């Protein structure tokens, strides 16, 4: 079973390979999750536990079950039944099914899947690096990795690069844990992932890395004081990453992308986001309780934004470039309450991990927080691979894994 989980983690980005089964749209990742679940069920021997009430009183069942309920309501609310059912299946049902399978296995199964997921991030980063090396390292080209395959050609190249960064950032944070990778591989894999993030030229990704390493640096400072300055070289690693971010800033400062970022009178990533966020708040104000449902943002957005901006900087926007707006719009007020509650729990777990010296939990919590930080500027959830990464890391933070 562990081999299957490792392979499943490794092929996460292959969700881009789509095909129908009996007329139902699906992809390689969804079929693989269903296959792993089927193999598990065929080997499952404790069927009686499934009908015991105690099985459903755990904290993780409440967390994942409540979100699945909200997503189901989102399907009912949505005016795009086909699209909402697809989102319900891809972003909620199958990832949560996989979490349930992992929760029933021994503790090492979770670690095996994480390593497969990290491996997939390395593959995506290497492909991105190769694209940049082959096509040429210039300021106008941004890598697309696998994400340009089979997607709407109307999506900008920069959107694909942003997908890469959103996928790699939380995975990169996971590599900083000693338990997730062998020591001899941590630095090599971490460096590959870091370079993969940098070359996307995603400012939201760099902002998130800066936030993560600010928290890391504060943690080191707290520990240094706790142990009277006796911690070993507490700021070397954070400083190395800070240097990398600084060099990125020096590289970008004279690029057209950065120069247009400062022009608040014309279209750039900031001004476009401001229009999108303003429109999203209007959409929330019109449907504050139930939201607009799953998979319906683009339709409602294109109907709403001309009333506020014409012509808008962005006509086709799949999501609101903000994790919090997206949860509120798709899942209603219950969705944003759920999201904030999980953030509060994650921060609590992070602080507890520092206090108790549980560094595995610390890095899992910080990886999840990186998604929340990224969510201030983009939407690192509403996509097949991103939702799965979110749920897997969330389970690592809140779930109780069985002992070997």
What's the whole-number mean pLDDT along residues 116-132?
A: 94
Q: What percent of the chain has pLDDT over 70?
A: 84
What's the whole-number mean pLDDT along residues 109-113?
A: 94
| Residue 67 maps to a domain | yes
pLDDT digits (tens, 9 = 90+) for 329-388: 999 999 999 999 999 999 999 999 998 889 899 999 999 999 999 999 999 999 999 999
| Residue 223 maps to a domain | no
Mutual angle of helices 203-226 and 183-198, in 10-degree steps: 140
| Residue 24 maps to a domain | yes
CA distances from 234 to 114, 216, 361, 367 (A): 26, 10, 19, 20
| Residue 385 maps to a domain | yes
What's the whole-number mean pLDDT along residues 95-102?
A: 94
Q: Which residue has the higher pLDDT, 251 or 152?
A: 251
pLDDT reading at 140 higher than 70: no
pLDDT reading at 93 higher than 60: yes
pLDDT digits (tens, 9 = 90+) for 270-312: 888 999 999 999 999 999 999 999 999 999 999 999 998 888 8
Between 81-95, 107-121, 221-235, 323-337, the lowest mean confidence (pLDDT) is in 221-235
| Residue 215 maps to a domain | no
pLDDT reading at 41 higher than 50: yes
| Residue 331 maps to a domain | yes
Q: Which domain holds residue 121?
A: 2-197+272-398
The secondary structure of residue 292, as a DSSP letter, is S
For residue 89, the model assigns a pLDDT of 96
Between 14-23, 31-40, 154-163, 323-332, the lowest mean confidence (pLDDT) is in 154-163
pTM score, whole prediction: 0.91
Between 109-123, 242-256, 336-350, the lowest mean confidence (pLDDT) is in 242-256
Query: Band of the pLDDT at 402, cuts 50, 70, 90?
Result: low
Distance CA 166, CA 187 (A): 21
Query: Band of the pLDDT at 149, cuts 50, 70, 90?
Result: confident
| Residue 207 maps to a domain | no
Distance CA 169, CA 183 (A): 20
Q: What percent of the chain has pLDDT over 90?
A: 56
| Residue 255 maps to a domain | no
Query: How many CB atoms sit inside 10 A of residue 88's CB?
Result: 19
Burial class of residue 42 (count of CB atoms within 10 Å of its CB; 0-12, 13-18, 19+): exposed
Query: Band of the pLDDT at 154, cuts 50, 70, 90?
Result: very low
Domain count, the chain: 1
Q: Which residue has the higher pLDDT, 346 or 226?
A: 346
pLDDT reading at 27 higher than 50: yes
Burial class of residue 153 (count of CB atoms within 10 Å of its CB; 0-12, 13-18, 19+): exposed
């Amino acid at each position: 079973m562990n081999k299957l989980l490792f392979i499943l983690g490794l092929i996460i980005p292959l969700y881009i390979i789509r095909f129908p089964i009996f007329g139902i749209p699906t992809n390689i990742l969804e079929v693989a999750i269903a296959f792993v679940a089927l193999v598990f069920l065929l080997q499952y021997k404790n069927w009686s536990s499934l009908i015991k009430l105690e099985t459903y009183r755990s904290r993780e069942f409440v967390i994942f079950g409540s979100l699945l309920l909200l997503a189901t309501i989102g399907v009912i609310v949505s005016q795009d039944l086909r699209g909402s059912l697809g989102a319900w299946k891809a972003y909620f049902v199958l990832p949560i099914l996989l979490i349930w399978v992992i929760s029933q296995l021994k503790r090492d199964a979770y670690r095996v899947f994480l390593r497969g997921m990290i491996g997939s991030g390395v593959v995506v980063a290497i492909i991105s690096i190769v694209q940049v090396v082959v096509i040429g390292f210039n300021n106008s080209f941004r890598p697309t990795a696998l994400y340009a395959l089979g997607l709407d050609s109307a999506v900008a190249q920069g959107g694909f690069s942003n997908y890469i960064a959103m996928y790699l950032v939380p995975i990169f944070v996971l590599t900083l844990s000693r338990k997730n990778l062998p020591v001899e591989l941590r630095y090599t894999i971490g460096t590959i992932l870091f370079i993969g993030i940098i070359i996307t030229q995603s400012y939201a990704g760099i902002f998130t890395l800066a936030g993560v390493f600010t928290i890391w640096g504060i943690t080191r400072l707290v520990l240094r004081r706790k142990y009277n300055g006796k911690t070993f070289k507490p700021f070397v690693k954070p400083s190395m990453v800070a240097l990398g971010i600084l060099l990125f800033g020096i590289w970008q400062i004279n690029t057209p992308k950065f120069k247009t970022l400062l022009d608040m009178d014309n279209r750039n990533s900031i001004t476009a986001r401001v229009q999108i966020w303003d429109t999203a708040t209007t959409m929330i104000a019109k449907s504050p309780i139930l939201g607009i449902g799953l998979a319906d943002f683009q339709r409602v957005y294109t109907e709403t934004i001309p009333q506020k901006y014409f012509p808008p900087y962005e006509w086709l926007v799949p999501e609101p470039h903000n994790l919090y707006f997206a949860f509120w719009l798709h899942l209603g007020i219950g969705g944003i309450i759920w999201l904030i509650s999980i953030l509060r729990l994650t921060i609590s777990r992070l602080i507890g991990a520092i206090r108790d010296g549980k560094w595995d939990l610390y890095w899992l919590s910080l990886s999840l927080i990186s998604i929340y930080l990224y969510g201030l500027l983009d939407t690192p959830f509403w996509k097949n691979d991103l939702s799965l990464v979110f749920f897997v890391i969330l389970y690592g933070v809140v779930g109780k894994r069985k002992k070997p």
